[in-house]
Amino acid sequence: MSVAANGEMQQQLQQARSLIEAGQRQQASKLLTLLAGNFARRSLTGPDASSVAELAFFFSQIKAWNDAAHWFSRAVALAPDNALYHYNLATMLRFAGDLRAAEQALDRALELNPADAEAQHLRSSLRTQSADDNHIHELQQQCQAQGLSPKQRVHLHYALAKELEDVQRYDASFRALKAGADVRRQHLNYDVAQDEQIMAKIAEVFSAKCLQENAGKGFESAEPIFILGMPRTGSTLIERMLGSHSDVSMAGELNNFSQAMMAQIRSQGRPANIFEAIEASGKLDFRALGEHYLHSTRPDTGHTAHFIDKLPLNFLYVGLIKLALPNARIIHVQRDPMDTCYAVYKHLFTHAYPFSYQLDELGRYYLAYQKLMQHWYQALPDSLFTLHYEALIREPETTLRSVLSHCGLDWQADCLRFEHNADASTTGSAAQIRQSLYSSSVGKWRHYPRQLAELHSLLTAGCEGA
């Protein structure tokens, strides 16, 4: 490639970066498509591997997962000894549901860089490990290595815990899990008491009186379907089922609603703290908020009559959602409290949910969430559809028909064949939702009665007192 051509390519890549950072995804997509065409017309000896990998990364930033996977595979072809390219290819393949190829890419990444703990953790998550085919011995040795960073130690312990649980070595699994969670918690600045106070303040501001007095002031779009609640409750499963309907698209876990709310709050003066922001949120222009939210979801939405926003933490904004978008459907996914908390505890989140690494904090957060949800049910009767995960597993068609009816959707049998849905998934359940419906997660916490006894007592006392 000539120096001039290479300079033009780098300039276009930088322009794409600027468009993505400015949130101009449609323009970025057009530029990236043009760049990809130029790259494809050149031989493999044309663009260097780093430029191809950069193009792949930018495609991932605009959620073009298949394009990202294609160009990461080209980067791997150009630089087969670059472990990072193999890892990035694996993440895209996992999103797209090609789990076998993702595992092969991670195997190669780890051959090149055995110290990559994130690759170890991701590989462990791709399938249920067996007694004859696992990485337990390798992970045990790595966990005992000297000089590991806290981040490496956390990822290795979570990977080991997952594989030990898969082969039913439950005591050893929980020891590894707790070791990883404890290290993660040591490096977080978090106070569960503040979250408890925040949820109490939300209920105070969005009282039944406030909700009644401001009803009918919102933006009357029926496009959004919000699926919310605690994480790890089966929300991705119901998202995939609903997203298999011809009138519904999946927009993923969007932060758009809270971002639109904060933008309007700040336009009226910067609040001194979170509690002032909550107070201000009860006095917004609700119609403008709903319209701004809907507009901000484009171009991910607008292709079907409805779209799903699956951010669990939207449970904090149920009152505000109903004021801003009175015709939006809200599905609250619930699961057995102990199964919920154990599933949250054993999942290593990237950034969110800092309450999830210490069992007493997790229990307190769960009880505060339940209290806020009870407030929404009382203040907004008939506004939420409660979906019980166990009922969905036990009677999928009956339960799903009720959900579709709540959303004003006709029955389509494809909703039960969700595992054939080819759309990408970027959630922590990206591997599980490629399987048919299974019930093995129901009651899983019961493998740890001694380790979870205090959490069980806390939740039992809290739920009885509610």
Two structure tokens written together for 57: 């990364």
Closest CA to 384 of 333, 340, 323, 313: 333
pLDDT at 283: 95
Compute the 3-state secondary structure of the chain and give helix, strand, coil in percent, each to the nearest 5: 65, 5, 30
Q: How far is CA 24 from CA 260, 293, 424, 445, in A?
A: 17, 16, 21, 44
The answer on pLDDT for 225 being more than 60 is: yes
pLDDT tens, 165-208?
999 999 999 999 999 999 999 999 999 999 999 999 999 999 99
Q: Are residues 350 and 399 in the same domain?
A: yes
Beta bridge partner(s), residue 332: 228, 386
Of the candidates 170, 187, 204, which is a domain's last residue? 187
* Coil, strand or helix at 41: helix
pLDDT band at 3 (very low <50, low <70, confident <90, very high): very low
Q: What's the structural domain count of the chain?
A: 3
> Within the chain, what is the greatest distance between any pair of CA atoms?
73
**Is the bond into 299 cis (omega within 30 degrees of 0)?**
yes
pLDDT at 21: 84
pLDDT tens, 15-46?
888 888 887 888 888 889 888 888 887 654 56
Q: Are residues 276 and 347 in the same domain?
A: yes
pLDDT tens, 84-131?
999 999 999 998 889 999 999 999 999 999 999 999 999 999 999 999
Of the candidates 157, 187, 217, which is a domain's last residue? 187
Q: Are residues 31 and 77 in the same domain?
A: yes
pLDDT at 432: 59
Q: Are residues 229 and 315 in the same domain?
A: yes
Report whether 74 contacts 47 (CB < 8 A).
no
pLDDT tens, 227-284?
999 999 999 999 999 999 999 999 999 999 999 999 999 998 899 899 999 999 999 9
Beta bridge partner(s), residue 327: none
φ, ψ of residue 128 in degrees (nearest 5): -75, 120
pLDDT tens, 53-76?
999 999 999 889 899 999 999 999
pLDDT at 4: 47
Q: Are residues 18 and 126 in the same domain?
A: no
pLDDT at 26: 82
Q: Tell the burial category of 363 from Cβ atoms under 10 Å away from its Cβ (0-12, 13-18, 19+).
A: buried
Start-end of H helices in 297-358:
318-324, 337-345
Full residue range of the structural domain in which residue 278 is found: 192-465
Of the candidates 187, 204, 224, which is a domain's last residue? 187
